[in-house]
Amino acid sequence: MSRILATGNYAAGQALALAGEANRNARGCCAGAYPITPQTEIIEYLRGAVFTKGRIVPVESEHSAMGVCIGASMSGARAFTASSSNGLAYMTENIFAAGYYRLPIVLIAVNRTLGPPWNIWVDQGDSLALRDAAWLQFYCSTHQDLVDTILMAFRVAEDPRILLPVMVAMDGFVSSHTQMVVDVPSQELVDQYLPLCNVPQRLDHSRPATMGGLTWPRETERHRRDIQEAMERVPLVLEEAREEFYAVFGRRPDGAVAAEHTGDAETLLIASSTMAETARDVVRRRRTREEKIGLLRIKQFRPFPRAEVQQIVRGAKRIGVLDRNHSPGSGGIFWGEVAATLQGSGVLLQDYITGIGGGDVTPDVIENIIDDLNGRTASSEPLWQEVAV
Amino acid sequence: MNGYSPLSYKTDLKPVWCPGCGDFGVLNSLYRALAELKIEPHDTVVVSGIGCSSRLPGYVEAYGFNSLHGRALPIATGAKLASPALKVIAVGGDGDGVAIGGNHFLHAARRNTDLTYIMMDNEIYGLTKGQAAPTTPIGDKTKSTTYGNPEAAVDPCALAISFGATWVGRGFSGDVKGTAELMKLAIAHKGFAFLDIISPCVTWRGDDQHKEIRAKLRTLPAGYDKTKRTSADAYTNEADVVTTGVLFEVEHPTLIDEILEIRWKAQGDKQPPTRKDLLKAFTPSF
C-alpha cells in the first residue's frame, strides 16, 4: 500500500490499471479511450500504463469507446473506460446496450454539466440522465472513496449474482483536478481482492451463440425483470465486497449510504459527492452548538437504497435534499427518489437545487439552506439556491 | 452594415486561442473573403462543432451556431435546406470532422449539399490538450500515444474527393491572402465545397510548426487538371510536402437541385422551377 498525493483523475486511472492488470492470468483487460474534459487524464493515464495482457484502444468517439468495451467484455476481458457530459450523452446508446447485455463493464463518469450552453464544470445531470440504463451508480466524495469504490465496482459487477455494469462518478474539477492523499493498494493486494473476470455469456467457440437477437414481449419482460432481480441482490453482494475489502486492505469503504450524527437528528441533510463533504463540516460545526442536525450521504444511486434511507431518516422532523442536478419539470433527482421512498411518512421534505453548472457550494450556502429548512412549517416546490461565481 | 471591410465582420468577442494559433489566420482569411464577396452578415450562417477552432462562429459578425462535437454538418444541412438563400459555412477541427463527425462528412459530401466546409487541420485534439487525432502522423508521440502513434493518418482532402465533394482545396493559415482567395472560391462554388486549412497548433504540435509547414509548402503545377479525381492522387496523402490550391472541382447538381427536379418530374410540370418557386418551396409561410 502506498500513500500518494494525487488528483482524482490520476487516482482513478491507477485503480483502473490495477484492476486491469489483476486479470492478466485470464483474458486480460481492454478499454476504448476517447478524450473529453474533465476526464481526459484518466484515459491518458491508461494509454501510458503498461499491461501484461491488455489493450487501451484510442477510438474516434465515445460511442465507439463503449463499443470497444462491449466487444472486449463479450470476449471475456475486464473492460473499462471513462467519460463526461456530452461524451456520456453520445455514448448512451451503447451504455444501454452494455446494461442489457449484462456485461460487467466499469465506467468512470467525471460529472460535468451537459451542453449547450457549453460549460465544463460539475453537475450530475450527465450521469443521472443514465439512471435507467441498467447500470449500478456510485457517487464518490473523496479520492480514497473513489479508488476503493472502483475496486469494489469490478468485484460487484463481475459477481455471477449481479453481472451488470457499474458507473463510478466523481465531481468534475472539484474531485478530478484537485489533489488529496490517497492510499493506492499494491498490485499484489488487488490481485488478492479481485477474482479473475469470468463473463459467463462470453463468446466461446465451444458454445457458438448470437448475442442480441429478436425477442417477443414475454422474453423482453423476463429480461428486464431479471435485471431488476439482479439489482435487488446488490445490497448483499456489496456488503460481502466491503467485508472482503476490509479483510484484504484493512479499511472498510462506505457502502450505499453514509450517516453522520443521524441518530437523534431532528434536522437532516441529504447530499452526495463532494457537496456531502462540505455539508459534513457544516453539520459538525452546528453539532458543537448542540443542534440536533445530521447528514445522510447517498453514495449508491442505482439501485436506490430505499431500506437504508427509510431506516436512517426515521426520527427526523425535517429533511433537506441538496441536489446538484435538475430534472426539468420535476426538480432535483435525488429529492424525487427520496420523496418516493418516504411517501406517507409525513416528514417535511424540502428540495434545494444548487451548484448547477459548477457553482461553488460553500459552507455559507449550506448554512443558509439549513436556516431556511429550520424555519419551515411546510415544504414548497423545489427551491433554487443559486450560487454566484 | 456600412460598406464591406474585413474588420466589419469582426465581433467584440476576443478569441480565446493560444498566442501563435493558426486559427487566427483562418479567421482573418474568412473576414477578408466575406468582405470581398460582399456577403451580408444577415445572409450568412457559420456553424461549428466542438474544439478550439469551433469557437470561430462567435468571432464572426453573422449568424453563429456552436453545436455539438462532430455535428456541424447535419445542422448546416438543416439550415441550408430550410432557407436556401442563406450562405451556410460549416467550420471545425480535424478531430471534429474526420473522427467523431466522420459519417456526416461522408453524407454531406455525397449529397452535394450546397455548403462550404472549412476544416482547421492541426493534426491533434487541441482543446482536450494534445491527444492523437486521425490526422496525426504515424509514429508521433502525443499525450494519448505515449510510445508513438500506431495508426496511419488520413488526408481529409482525399476523403472529401472520394466522398463525392464537388470542390476540394487546401490552404495554409499562415498565408492569409492565399487562404482568403481559396475561401472565396469555395463559398462561391455551387455544391459541397471542402477546404482543408493546415492550421498549426503551437501548443501541442511544437513551436516550430509554422516554420516546418511553411518549408513544406508547394503549389499545384501549371496545367493541373482539377476536374479529374485521379489528378489529386499525387497531391493528397503526401509525406514531406503540403500542396495548396484547388485540388478538385466539378459541376454537379446540388441536393436542392435534385429534390426540385424530382418534385418537378413527379408533378408532371413542364417548366423547371424558378428561384421564386425554390424559395416558396423551402421557406415556411410564417
Of the candidates A254, A316, A305, the one whose C-alpha atom is nearest the C-alpha of residue A283 is A316
Q: What is d(CA A141, CA A382) in angstroms, rounded to the nearest whole number? A: 24
Give the position of cell 472529401: B160
Query: What confidence tens digit (pLDDT) does each residue in A259-312 have?
Result: 999 999 999 999 999 999 999 999 999 999 999 999 999 999 999 999 999 999
- As beta bridge partners, residue A293 has A267
Question: Can you list the domains of chain A with their CATH numbers?
Answer: 2-249 (3.40.50.970), 257-385 (3.40.50.920)
Residue B143: list chain A partners with CB under 8 A: 44, 47
Predicted confidence at residue B259, as pLDDT, reads 84
This prediction has a pTM of: 0.94
**B1 in any annotated domain:** no
Residue A82: list chain B partners with CB under 8 A: none
Report strand pairing: A179-184 vs A2-7.
Answer: antiparallel
CA distances to A22, A40, A113 from B16, rounded to whole Å, are 43, 20, 21
**Do B83 and B169 have their domain in common?**
yes
Predicted confidence at residue B286, as pLDDT, reads 58
**B81 in any annotated domain:** yes
Predicted confidence at residue A291, as pLDDT, reads 97
Check: CB of residue A145 under 8 Å from CB of residue A251: no
Question: CB–CB of A35 and B70 under 8 A?
Answer: no
**Do B152 and B268 have their domain in common?**
no
Residue A58: list chain B partners with CB under 8 A: 131-132, 144-145, 151
Give the position of cell 411517501: A343
Q: What is d(CA B87, CA A293) in angstroms, rounded to the nearest whole number? A: 62
**Do B194 and B239 have their domain in common?**
yes
Query: What confidence tens digit (pLDDT) does each residue in A52-82 have?
Result: 999 999 999 999 999 999 999 999 999 999 9
**Do B277 and B217 have their domain in common?**
no
B68 touches A: beta carbon within 8 Å: yes
Question: Distance from A42 to chain B by nearest Cα, in Å?
Answer: 10
**Do B29 and B122 have their domain in common?**
yes
**B196 in any annotated domain:** yes
Predicted confidence at residue B277, as pLDDT, reads 75
**Do B187 and B285 have their domain in common?**
no
Interface pTM, i.e. ipTM: 0.89
Q: What is d(CA A115, CA A230) in angstroms, rounded to the nearest whole number? A: 33
Q: What is d(CA A18, CA A190) in angstroms, rounded to the nearest whole number? A: 7
Question: Distance from A90 to chain B by nearest Cα, in Å?
Answer: 9
Predicted confidence at residue B270, as pLDDT, reads 65
Give the position of cell 475561401: B183
**Do B226 and B270 have their domain in common?**
no
Radius of gyration (C-alpha) of chain A in whole angstroms:
20
**B19 in any annotated domain:** yes
Q: What is d(CA B28, CA B242) in angstroms, rounded to the nearest whole number? A: 21
A48 touches B: beta carbon within 8 Å: yes
Backbone phi, psi, residue A185, to 5°: -70, 160
**Do B165 and B265 have their domain in common?**
no
**Residue A97: alpha-carbon gap to chain centroid:** 19
Predicted confidence at residue A209, as pLDDT, reads 86
Sheet with A267-271: list strands edge to edge: A257-260, A293-298, A267-271, A318-323, A348-354, A383-385
**B148 in any annotated domain:** yes
Cβ-count burial B66-76 (b if 16+ within 10 Å, e if not): bbbbbbbbbbb
Predicted confidence at residue A211, as pLDDT, reads 85
Check: CB of residue A123 under 8 Å from CB of residue A176: no
Query: Cell digits for B206?
Result: 511544437
**B215 in any annotated domain:** yes
Domain containing B206 — which CATH number?
Answer: 3.40.50.970
Domain count of chain B? 2
**Do B178 and B264 have their domain in common?**
no
Residue of B nearest to A49 (CA): B146
**Do B205 and B225 have their domain in common?**
yes
Which residues contact residue A97 at a Cβ distance below 8 angstroms, ignoring those fewer than 6 apart?
A66, A70, A212
Query: What confidence tens digit (pLDDT) does each residue in A33-58 have?
Result: 999 999 999 999 999 999 999 999 99
Query: What confidence tens digit (pLDDT) does each residue in A298-356 have?
Result: 999 999 999 999 999 999 999 999 999 999 999 999 999 999 999 999 999 999 999 99
A60 touches B: beta carbon within 8 Å: yes
Question: Distance from A61 to chain B by nearest Cα, in Å?
Answer: 5
Give the torsion through C-alpha atoms of A32, A33, A37, A41, to 10 deg: 130
SS percent in chain B: helix, strand, coil, step 5:
40, 15, 45
Alpha helix segments (H runs only) across B41-175: 72-82, 94, 102-110, 156-163
Q: What is d(CA B142, CA B125) in angstroms, rounded to the nearest whole number? A: 10
CA distances to A192, A245, B63 from A240, rounded to whole Å, are 15, 8, 58
Q: What is d(CA B175, CA A123) in angstroms, rounded to the nearest whole number? A: 43
pLDDT in tens, chain B (286 residues): 668 999 999 999 999 999 999 999 999 999 999 999 999 999 999 999 999 999 999 999 999 999 999 999 999 999 999 999 999 999 999 999 999 999 999 999 999 999 999 999 999 999 999 999 999 999 999 999 999 999 999 999 999 999 999 999 999 999 999 999 999 999 999 999 999 999 999 999 998 999 999 999 999 999 999 999 999 999 999 989 999 999 999 999 999 888 888 877 887 766 667 777 777 777 766 5
Q: What is d(CA A126, CA A173) in angstroms, rounded to the nearest whole number? A: 15
Question: CB–CB of B131 and A35 under 8 A?
Answer: yes
CA distances to A221, A260, A378 from A341, rounded to whole Å, are 24, 20, 19
**B42 in any annotated domain:** yes
Domain span at B258: 253-286
Angle between helical axes of B255-267 and B72-82 (0-180°, round to 10): 40
**Do B196 and B277 have their domain in common?**
no
Question: Distance from B199 to chain A by nearest Cα, in Å?
Answer: 21
Of the candidates B148, B127, B123, B128, the one whose C-alpha atom is nearest the C-alpha of residue B138 is B148
CA distances to A315, B140, B265 from B144, rounded to whole Å, are 52, 10, 54
Residue B151: list chain A partners with CB under 8 A: 58
Predicted confidence at residue B2, as pLDDT, reads 62
**Do B234 and B262 have their domain in common?**
no
Query: What confidence tens digit (pLDDT) does each residue in A209-242 have?
Result: 888 889 999 999 999 999 999 999 999 999 999 9
Of the candidates B80, B146, B141, the one whose C-alpha atom is nearest the C-alpha of residue B116 is B80
Which residues contact residue A184 at a Cβ distance below 8 angstroms, ignoring those fewer than 6 apart?
A1, A2, A3, A4, A6, A11, A14, A15, A18, A147
Predicted confidence at residue A212, as pLDDT, reads 85
**B177 in any annotated domain:** yes
Q: What is d(CA A283, CA A367) in angstroms, rounded to the nearest whole number? A: 9
CA distances to B82, B136, B146 from B140, rounded to whole Å, are 43, 7, 9
User: 3-class secondary structure for chain A?
Assistant: CEEEEEEHHHHHHHHHHHHHHCCCCCCCEEEEECCCCCCHHHHHHHHHCCCCCEEEEECCCHHHHHHHHHHHHHCCCEEEEEECHHHHHHHHHHHHHHHHCCCCCEEEEEECCCCCCCCCCCCCHHHHCCCCCCCEEEECCCHHHHHHHHHHHHHHHHCCCCCCCEEEEEECCCCCCCEEEEEECCHHHHHHHCCCCCCCCCCCCCCCCCCCCCCCHHHHHHHHHHHHHHHHCHHHHHHHHHHHHHHHHCCCCCCCEEEECCCCCCEEEEECHHHHHHHHHHHHHHHHCCCCEEEEEECEEECCCHHHHHHHCCCCCEEEEEECCCECCCECHHHHHHHHHCCCCCCEEEEEEECHHHCCCCHHHHHHHHHHHHCCCCCCCCEEECCCC
A46 touches B: beta carbon within 8 Å: no
Query: Cell digits for B246?
Result: 484547388
Question: Above 70 in pLDDT, residue A1?
Answer: no
Check: CB of residue A108 under 8 Å from CB of residue A135: no
Residue A40: list chain B partners with CB under 8 A: 128-129, 131
Which residues contact residue A217 at a Cβ distance below 8 angstroms, ignoring those fewer than 6 apart?
none
